[in-house]
């Protein structure tokens, strides 16, 4: 797996901004993102492969940033079991919970989006180490 997109938003309901790299601060979050400074939900991770399946079910493509997730990887399943660890480039993440589909996705993407994305929304993670996450970084699920 590799990072294919990074997005941050400075506040709730503000547009996501695509970036090539982002500074991750252990225990704090992604610098410049709305969840920076929260207790557990520091970064969200999703799979482009699963988004493509959702788009097929929906009957139309949509931009990955419309899901409001921070990190998009190219392929594979994103672990959802709490405690599972991922290494994204030089940064260590730990899954906190599933990122559930929100009904607001129907407003942002279109009717039926929340249903199409159910079970495909990725995971919310906490940052266990600091570093820079970049588009192109490898992503590894740790045993």
What is the domain count for the chain?
A: 1
Whether residue 99 contacts residue 122, with contact meaning beta carbons closer than 8 Å, is answered with yes
Give the per-residue pLDDT at 103: 66
Residues in the chain: 143
| Whole-number average pLDDT of the chain | 88
- Among 28-32, 34-38, 91-95, 136-140, the range scoring the smallest mean pLDDT is 34-38
Residue whose entry in the numeric block shows the structure tokens 């399946």? 53
- Which of 35-39, 54-58, 63-67, 89-93 has maximum average pLDDT? 89-93
pLDDT exceeds 90 at position 127: yes
CA end-to-end span of the chain: 15
What does 98-115 look like in DSSP terms, one character per residue? E----THHHHHT-TTHHH
CATH number for position 85? 2.40.33.20
pLDDT at 106 over 70: no
pLDDT reported for residue 8? 95
Residues spanned by the domain of 11: 3-142
Least confident of 11-15, 46-50, 56-60, 132-136: 11-15
């Amino acid at each position: 797996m590799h990072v294919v997109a990074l997005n941050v938003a400075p506040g709730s309901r503000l547009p996501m901004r695509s970036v090539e790299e982002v500074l991750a601060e252990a225990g704090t979050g992604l610098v410049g993102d709305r969840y920076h400074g929260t207790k557990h939900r520091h970064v969200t991770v999703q799979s482009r492969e699963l988004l493509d399946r959702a788009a097929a079910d929906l009957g139309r493509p949509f931009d990955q940033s419309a899901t409001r997730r921070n990190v998009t990887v190219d392929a594979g399943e994103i672990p959802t079991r709490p405690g599972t660890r991922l290494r994204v480039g030089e940064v260590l993440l730990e899954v906190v919970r599933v990122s559930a589909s929100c009904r607001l996705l129907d407003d942002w993407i279109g009717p039926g989006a929340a249903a199409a994305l159910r079970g495909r929304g990725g995971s919310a993670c906490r940052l266990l180490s600091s570093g820079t996450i970049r588009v192109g970084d490898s992503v590894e699920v740790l045993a």
